[in-house]
Amino acid sequence: MPIHHEKLEPAPRDEKKLRRTAWILVFFAIVGGVVIFMAYERYASHANQEGRPSYVGELRYNLPVLRQDGVRVGLEELQGKVWILHSISVSQPETCALTVRVMQELARKYQDQKDVVLISMVIDPGSPEQASEQLQVAASRLGAKLPQWWMVTTEPKVLHKYLKDKCKLGMLAHQDQGKWIYDTSLVLVDRDLKLRKAVVPQRRGGPPFVTGFDFAQASSWDAKGIKTGTDRSNVREMQKLLEDTIELLRHETINP
What is the per-residue pLDDT across 111-159, written as a single tens digit (0 to 9) for each?
Answer: 999 999 999 999 999 998 899 999 999 999 999 999 999 999 999 999 9
Better pLDDT: 35 or 31:
31
Grade residue 244 by pLDDT with cuts at 50, 70 and 90.
very high
Q: What is the pLDDT of residue 23?
A: 67
Q: Is the pLDDT of residue 247 over 70?
A: yes
Provide the CB-side half-sphere exposure for 84 (13 A, CA).
Answer: 28
Q: How far apart are CA 85 and CA 167, in angstroms?
A: 9
Q: How far apart are CA 235 and CA 216, in angstroms?
A: 8
Mean pLDDT of 233-255: 90
Share of the chain above pLDDT 70, in %: 77
With CA atoms as reference, report the closest residue to 82 among 47, 119, 54.
119
Sign of CA dihedral 110, 112, 118, 124: positive
Q: What is the pLDDT of residue 61?
A: 76
Q: Is the pLDDT of residue 213 over 70?
A: yes
With CA atoms as reference, report the closest residue to 53 among 207, 200, 218.
200
Q: What is the pLDDT of residue 51?
A: 57
Sign of CA dihedral 75, 77, 79, 82: negative
Q: Is the pLDDT of residue 201 over 80?
A: no
CA distances from 156 to 162, 215, 236 (A): 10, 24, 32
Q: What is the pLDDT of residue 3?
A: 46
Sign of CA dihedral 190, 192, 197, 203: negative
Q: How far apart are CA 23 and CA 30, in angstroms?
A: 11
Grade residue 252 by pLDDT with cuts at 50, 70 and 90.
confident
* Domain chopping of the chain, boundaries: 20-49, 54-250
Q: How far apart are CA 123 and CA 95, in angstroms?
A: 12
Grade residue 199 by pLDDT with cuts at 50, 70 and 90.
confident
* Alpha-helical runs (H) found in the chain: 15-50, 97-109, 128-142, 156-161, 215-223, 234-250
List of E strands, 89-204: 116-122, 149-153, 174-176, 179-181, 187-189, 194-200
Q: Phi-psi region for residue 178, left (φ > 0), alpha (ψ -120 to 50) or beta?
A: left
Better pLDDT: 25 or 61:
61
With CA atoms as reference, report the closest residue to 179 among 253, 99, 75, 89.
89
158-184 residue pLDDT tens: 999 999 999 999 899 999 999 999 999
Q: What is the pLDDT of residue 111?
A: 95
Question: What is the fold of 54-250?
Answer: Glutaredoxin (3.40.30)
Q: What is the pLDDT of residue 39?
A: 42
CA distances from 214 to 62, 115, 154, 186, 223 (A): 25, 23, 24, 6, 15
Considering only 162-166, 240-244, 252-256, which range has the smallest mean pLDDT? Answer: 252-256
Considering only 49-63, 92-106, 221-235, which range has the smallest mean pLDDT? Answer: 49-63
